[in-house]
Amino acid sequence: MTNARTIGIIGAFAGVTVALCAFAVASTYAVRGLRLDLTEDRLYSLSPAVAPLVQRLDEPVKLDFYYSAEAAQGMPQIQSYANRVREFLQEVAQASKGRITLRVIDPAPFSEAQDEARAAGIAPLRLDGSGKELMLGLVAKNSVDQSEAMPFLDPNKEPFLEYDVMRLVQSIGKVKKPTIGLLSSLPLAGGGVNPADPRQPAEPWQIYLQLKQLYQVKDIATTDSALPEGLDALILVHPRELSTDLLRSIDGFALKGGRILAFLDPHCEAQPSEDRFSGGSGDKSSDLGPLTRAWGIEWTRSKVVADSTFAQRVRVRSQGPVQVMDYLIWLALREDALAKDDPSTGRLSQINTQTMGAIDIRESNKAAVKPLMESSAESMRLDGVRIQFFPDPEGLMRDFKPEGKRNVLAVRVQGPIEAAYDEAGNPTIAPPESSKPVMLAPDGSELPAAPTAPASAPAAPAPAPATPPAAPAPADATPGKGPFQDPAPAASPTLAQPAPAPEQAPAATPSASTPTSPAKAPRTGTGNIVIVADADLLADQNWIEQQRMGNLVLGSRVMADNGAFVLNVLEMFTGDEALLNLRARGKYQRPFDRVEEIRKAAEKQYLDRERELQNQIRQSEARLTELQAQKTPENQLILSPEQEAEVVKLEEQTLAARKELRSVQFNLRREYEGLGTRLMLVNVVAWPLVVAGLAAIMLVRRSHLHRSTKKA
């Protein structure tokens, strides 16, 4: 009996083992496609747009994923990220239904695979002095052996892995790319003087390289008289001094339904200075003449928006040590400032800008004008001349007075628009009185207008304004931050003199580009236009940082969604919206609002008290000077009793004020640390106790029910 029972137990165990093995083998093949993703950001799931995108590729794509598994031993972050990339690529290949094939290659040292990886553009990362190298990159190839590479897959860019890979696949798998016209007065394509290294030419902007990768880009000079044919969309970046013919060509393109993305700027910090001795001063604004009014907005090129809520933190050195403070005209527009219901901004987390202007929506327009970016209510409009000569973050904070309303910073125009020019080339909408050119002195006061020439005589060019005395040198701060990058020579202020409006230009002679028949130009059309009140947001330092190893560029670290915004708009314009849901799956930062409120309140109190201290010191010094003037020539070197008492009083006031300033700083630090301690206690102690308490209650309740059931 015992032997039979033992044999039965062994047989049952063997049967269970065989069944489990069979189930494991069957699940490997039959249940391979089943997935359950419970992560917050759906990190292990493909976006709905991925499958349609990869299935409609014009060309089959081969993906080669290079990963040095042996070199990554002992680096858990790299190992886990490499596994994540491999699993993601396998999901993409499975969803493509044969359009994408994947190879996972280990480029072992001194192997042919290593040579192939180097030839394909994969960047090796040297781990130590022994020559140990790590490769973690991706190469895409099509059927005609065209290839593009992602040299190094940065683990810090994991939230953008899906978008980066899909953009690479689409770029190599599409035969025909949309045609984009690019008109800019800024050196987007590189060349010219490199501020970081004058010995080397400036590199192309990253946004320009991305546009070249995804689209057929036609560069348009600001001196051209007409747009080229066959454009799917048009980008205008800081347009300055455009001819009437070119403005009329842009007007006709918009009336025919052409898609336009325009970046205007009241003070473009990325604009190279025409005079290297000017320190970057002078008029750096741009506009589109009567076009913006015809499209339904009012653009004031002399105003800059300051905002305390979205201000970026910068390091500034003025008279004393380096200070960290808010720079009110450099904005980091977070989710509260971006339109949630628009595909171009709805999934973005942050856009960094510099010296943004304000856009007013006209009430008389027929098109739908929708704000895409807005400031907070804690904002105000400043005269551009205030920041034209040298930056003063501390002065802006002291003089900041919020106006209590939000300013529109970017808009989308869709629907009926009017023609900006008639058949004869004259503007159809008169400019507002406030848009006429105004000359300002360095202190912001308005100068009397110069006498105008007689109507019968041709308009003579305005004389060059006189150069006032040199202004103080710009403030110094952390390198790589716009005006704080390197102290420029002392600025020579020039009077702010906006360019004359297009309607003031002399009438062009009839030509092939100037229509003479009323039937050639429609008077109304359907607009599809996006206008942004800043061009600096395209500059690399505002949204991207290159990872380098010597002269080798390993990749780029994205700091903000500036580039993503541009590509979002263009993808909508060119009809390919598949990539819109693949971007910004994670968040760059999640700020503590309460901590920010404490910091700003304490900082304001500190600055106010500092100003009072400086006033007290100036008053005491003035009193000393007054007492010194009352002395006789024989007693100039001897302090009088009144002077001695005044000196003692000055020292006491200075010590007391400095002690109070230290107290404010100490209280700020104490509030920071106290809030951090409270958050730690809540997360580490309170919540575990709550969970443990709930578990204990459930256990007691379950035991009670079990005893009640047993008694029954």
- What pLDDT shows up at residue 505? 38
Last residue of a domain, one of 97, 131, 164: 164
Does residue 550 lie in a domain region? no
3-state secondary structure of 347: coil
Q: Domain range holding 60?
A: 50-164
pLDDT at 465: 35
**Judgement on whether residues 85 and 201 belong to the same structural domain of the protein:** no
pLDDT beneath 50: ranges in the chain: 275-280, 433-522, 583-590
Give kind and range of the element (H or E) at residue 613: helix 593-629
Give the count of domains, the chain: 4
Q: Residue 684 gets which letter from DSSP?
A: I
Instruction: Please give the order of strands across the beta sheet that includes 100-105.
Output: 100-105, 61-67, 136-141, 147-150
Both 247 and 303 in one domain: the answer is yes
Evaluate whether 235 touches 183 at the Cβ level (below 8 Å).
Answer: yes
Q: What is the pLDDT of residues 543-559, one digit of tens each?
A: 988 766 655 555 567 88
Does residue 160 share a domain with residue 184? no
> In terms of domains, do 517 and 409 share one?
yes
In this prediction, residue 492 carries a pLDDT of: 33
Residue 570 domain flag: no
Do 197 and 292 belong to one domain?
yes
Q: Is 420 exposed, middle or buried (0-12, 13-18, 19+ CB in 10 A)?
A: buried
Say how far apart CA 631 and CA 642 lie, in whole Å.
11
- Cα–Cα dist 352/354, whole Å: 7
Instruction: Say if residue 356 is in the same domain as residue 487.
Output: yes
- Tell me: do 652 and 519 sit in the same domain: no
Three-state secondary-structure class, residue 483: helix
Cα radius of gyration (the chain): 33
Distance from the Cα of residue 529 to its chain's centroid: 20
Reported pTM: 0.58
Nearest partner of 495 among 440, 572, 569, 570, judged by Cα: 440
Q: CA–CA separation, 419 vs 402, rounded Å?
A: 37
Digit-coded pLDDT (tens) for 316-350: 776 667 778 899 999 999 999 999 888 889 878 89
Pick from 183, 281, 683: which is nearest to 675 by CA?
Answer: 683
What CATH number did the domain enclosing 68 receive? 3.40.30.10
Instruction: Please state, in angstroms and as integers, the Cα–Cα distance from residue 517 to each residue in 356, 422, 424, 521, following that order.
Output: 40, 10, 9, 8
Q: Are 159 and 585 a contacting pair, CB within 8 Å?
A: yes
Q: Are residues 25 and 117 in the same domain?
A: no
At position 323, the amino acid (one-letter code) is: Q
What pLDDT is recorded for position 582? 59
Residue 692 lies in a domain: yes
